[in-house]
Amino acid sequence: MRTMMTLPRMMTKGRTAAAAIAVLVALTGHPALAETVTLRFVQTNDLDRMGEKDGRGGLARVAAAVKAERAKPGTTFFVHAGDAISPSLLAGIDKGAHMITLLNAMGVDVMTPGNHEFDFGDAVFAERIGEARFPIVTSNVRGPDGAQPANTVDEKIVEVGGVKVGFYGLTTETTVEVASPGAYTFAPSVETAEAKLKSLRDQGADFVVAIAHEGVDVDRDLVAGTLADLVLSGHDHDLTISYNGKTALTESSSQGDYVVVTTVTLDRTEKDGKTTVTWRPDFDVLDSAALTPDPEIGALVKGFEDRLDAELNVEIGKTDTPLDSRRATVRGTEAAIGNLIADAIRQAVDADVGIVNGGGIRADREYAAGTVLTRRDILAELPFGNRTLKLAVTGQQLWDALENGLSQVEKGAGRFAQVSGLVLEADLKEPVGSRLKTVTIGGETLDLARTYTLAINDYAAAGGDGYGMLRSAERLIPEAASVLMASQVIDHIAKAGTVAPKTEGRIVFR
């Protein structure tokens, strides 16, 4: 027989095992000897940048935190809550293989895939997971045949000092929209959590950990439903610590800038066939800027960075006009760099029009007029490894696609369309679905019944960022015959030698 009891909030920090026993005596009326176990969870999430930036973050500093915590008494779990293999500069070349090599060297104890593990498609996901030498727990992801993905487990139980620690993993259901998972499916997260909690408890788990690469709304549901004792989350890039007396929730920002360490002290007693477990958390937030990078992992990172430099530090051309890829620019207005990229892919496949979802332009920086551009610059802007498809679309599908691009401008959503070969007028004061007012192509008004050719990346063509209206469009250049967007943009700039893109009234707001 087993019961679960959580100490009141006042017991969350600094209390001794004797205090826990006193509480047990007060509640049960029978003295009992408690066995105390210390568990330490070192968490990272949303970490695809292997090197540090401005003296903070990166894998070598995270490795230093892990090594220091493992040197302390008790059992330490290094947990990765998803998003590792993409997006990054080198991932655009090796599809994230370097990150798996580095995580293998760091000795991850448990990881759950994030949506970015699916950026390069289902085949690459399977390949990367197959290279991992650490446990990957995924409870709501299933393969094309409905089976558990190869080299992953549905749940995991680890026994420490007589205490059973259970793990389950969740990947955001929005992966089907924000990544390219192919035939992989994602079961409802909360329903999966309910089933996994029951399964792990039925197997005798004394302490249940949910590794949840989920948005804040799902995190709140997990906490409100007490669907785990500890939720280690990712996806939102927040630095979060909360504890309501029943469930603790943490998230470690992103890129290893901060590392959250949750220390859990469990007191487990057995009396008359009855097991009682009490626990209390303690939290530490480590600023990675204060950590000395681990030399072993630092050397591995340096090797990969040297390789990257050789690959990317090649000049391809110059821009005579300033470029701005800052998030607010590419997701909310016509941008010169958006015009450059959209023109490059449209011309590369000889399409009537081109659309680039603003969320796919990622470097978040400005380039002064006269800047010499390198391969590194372009791969920083287009890190996802997307390929350009050529679609045959009706005027209605094109209209609907452009309307979708305008639907979440206020939220800074990535679906905002940078365009080539057309001019659109819109009124953002109008309700969603009625914002697009006019579209002209080659000086002629868009004909809803006519067929046009569209250059667009494979992600959006598959329905990503809300472009579901394009899924049924005929593929004139299918994915199997397609070319990397980044390569097309690099070739476009290199062929021109000097480019001078500018905003020219392609997107007009009334």
Domain boundary among 237, 270, 305: 305
pLDDT at site 275: 81
Residues 326, 277, single domain; the answer is: no
> Are 165 and 77 members of one domain?
yes
Residue 377 phi/psi, 5° resolution? -60, -45
* Bond prior to 181 in cis (omega within 30° of 0): no
Residues 391 and 293 in one domain: no
- Strand segments, DSSP code E, in 224-339 are 230-234, 239-243, 248-252, 258-271, 274-287, 315-319, 323-324
Q: Is the pLDDT of residue 478 over 90?
A: no
Same domain, 18 and 134: yes
Across 174-184, average pLDDT: 88
CATH code assigned at 348: 3.90.780.10
pTM: 0.73
Q: Which residue has the tokens 């230093």?
A: 64
Residue 312 — very low, low, confident or very high, per pLDDT cuts 50/70/90?
A: confident
Asked whether the beta carbons of 424 and 436 are under 8 A apart, the reply is yes
Does 23 have pLDDT greater than 50? no
Same domain (yes/no): 128, 250 = yes
The pLDDT of residue 311 is above 90: no
pLDDT exceeds 60 at position 32: no
Query: What mean pLDDT is reported for the chain?
Result: 92
**277, 129: one domain:** yes
**Is residue 12 classed as helix, strand or coil in its secondary structure?**
coil
Q: How far apart are the C-alpha atoms of 378 and 344, rounded to whole Å?
A: 12
Q: Is the peptide bond preceding residue 293 cis, with omega within 30 degrees of 0?
A: no
pLDDT score at 269: 87
Where is the domain boundary, 278, 305, 332? 305
pLDDT in tens, 371-395: 999 999 999 999 988 989 999 999 9
Instruction: Give the span between the Cα atoms of 90 and 101, in whole angstroms.
Output: 13
Q: Are residues 251 and 108 in the same domain?
A: yes
pLDDT for 28 equals 45
Closest by alpha carbon to 129, among 142, 140, 113? 113
From 245, 276, 305, the end of a domain falls on 305
Q: Residue 37 in 3-state DSSP?
A: strand
Same domain, 418 and 270: no
Could you tell me if 28 and 44 lie in one domain? yes
For the chain, give the percent of residues with pLDDT over 70: 93
179 and 118 Cβ atoms separated by less than 8 Å: yes
Q: Is the model's pLDDT at 484 over the cut of 90?
A: no
Question: If pLDDT is split at 50, 70 and 90, which confidence band does 87 have?
Answer: confident
User: Using one digit for the tens of pLDDT, what is the confidence trace for 111-131?
Assistant: 999 999 998 899 999 999 999
User: Taking the alpha carbons of 356, 359, 360, 365 in that order, is the dihedral positive or negative?
Assistant: positive
Mean pLDDT of 331-343: 98
Quick check: 101 and 95 in contact, CB under 8 A?
no
**Helix and strand totals (H; E) in the chain:** 15, 29
Same domain for 369 and 472? Answer: yes
The span from the CA of 212 to the CA of 193, in Å, is: 10
Strands 323-324 and 423-426, by their bridges, are unpaired
Q: What is the pLDDT of residue 177?
A: 81
User: d(Cα 51, Cα 94) in Å, to the nearest integer?
Assistant: 16
Residues 215 and 128 grouped into a single domain: yes
* Residue 15 in this model has a pLDDT that exceeds 60: no
> Is the pLDDT reported for residue 397 higher than 50?
yes
> What does the block give as tokens for 473?
């469009």
Q: Give me the pLDDT at residue 12, please.
A: 36
Could you list the residue range(s) of the whole structural domain that residue 450 is in?
A: 313-509
Please report, for the domain that includes residue 287, its CATH number.
Answer: 3.60.21.10
Q: In which band, very low, low, confident or very high, does the pLDDT at 271 lie, cut at 50, 70 and 90?
A: confident
- Least confidently predicted of 88-92, 266-270, 335-339: 88-92
Give CA–CA dist 119/112, Å, rounded.
15
Could you identify the residue written with the tokens 């072993």?
296
The answer on pLDDT for 135 being more than 50 is yes
Tokens representing 433 are 């679905």
Q: What domain count does the chain have?
A: 2
Phi/psi class of residue 385: alpha, beta or left (left: φ > 0; alpha: ψ in -120 to 50)?
left
Judge whether residue 261 has pLDDT over 80: yes
Q: 185 and 82, same structural domain? A: yes
For residue 9, what pLDDT band results from cuts at 50, 70 and 90? Answer: very low
